[in-house]
Amino acid sequence: MKIFCLAILSLLLLNSCASLLPKPQAAPQRLIINIPHKLDTKFYKSTSSILQIALPEVAPQLNTYRIAVRNAGNSEGLFNHINYVENARWSSNLPQMLQTLWIQTFANTRMYSAVVSDVDSVKSDYVLTIQVHDFELEYFSVPIAHITLSLQLTYQNKIIYSGYLESAMEADANNIPKIMQAFDRAFSSITQQISYKILLPH
């Protein structure tokens, strides 16, 4: 009887200790921006030149795996404050993710003989550098995926284009699947805008 009571007491102690331990948190959901299905290239010609896409520069608060959120402003100017989506993250650090997406997208157009990164030991005729100012979810009355960037295209070390681009797309609902669809549309839109600046017209 004494052994039986000790066994019951041990089980009760184990259960009480287990309840005090922190519960494991679910792993953050990894989110992926989809490559644009097809860019409009009908007014452009292919070239035997090589395009290099440098690793994008991003604002310090965007240099992360985390998904930035900017809430609607108020009289205290809190719109400039960045938060991050809980339990969700990009598939990789934002600059690496964007560079990979743009390299794959422009390689798929076959407008250049090759599209490479700035770590590839390949001599490139064209070099595209991009500074990302905004790549975040903004909350007004509805969630908006907002992207702004500056880009510069050089040919044999001479600047042939520099400019500022912007894209913003509303999410159809305030949930992760709809928000990701908005990011997909915003990314596709701004990538199409980039293509108009870096592809060679007929």
Which of these, 123, 110, 103, 122, lies nearest to 199 by C-alpha position?
110
Strands 82-90 and 66-71: antiparallel
pLDDT band at 27 (very low <50, low <70, confident <90, very high): low
pLDDT of residue 29: 87
**How confident is the model over 66-87, as a mean pLDDT?**
74
Domains and CATH numbers, the chain: 30-201 (3.40.50.10610)
Using CA atoms, how far apart are residues 62 and 44, in angstroms rounded to an integer? 33
pLDDT of residue 82: 87
Using CA atoms, how far apart are residues 54 and 51, in angstroms rounded to an integer? 10
Read out DSSP for 69-112? EEEPP-TT-GGG-EEEEEEEEESS-HHHHHHHHHHHHHHHHT-S
In the predicted structure, residue 167 carries a pLDDT above the cut 90: yes
pLDDT of residue 96: 97
| Contact of 145 with 174, CB cutoff 8 Å | no
Read out DSSP for 26-64? PPPEEE-PPPPS----TTEE--S-EEEEPPPEE-GGGSS
| Contact of 73 with 82, CB cutoff 8 Å | no
pLDDT of residue 25: 55
Q: What are the φ/ψ torsions at residue 80 (nearest 5 degrees)?
A: -80, -5
Q: Is the pTM of this model over 0.85?
A: no
Give the residue, 107 or 71, on which the prediction is more confident.
107
| Contact of 49 with 113, CB cutoff 8 Å | yes
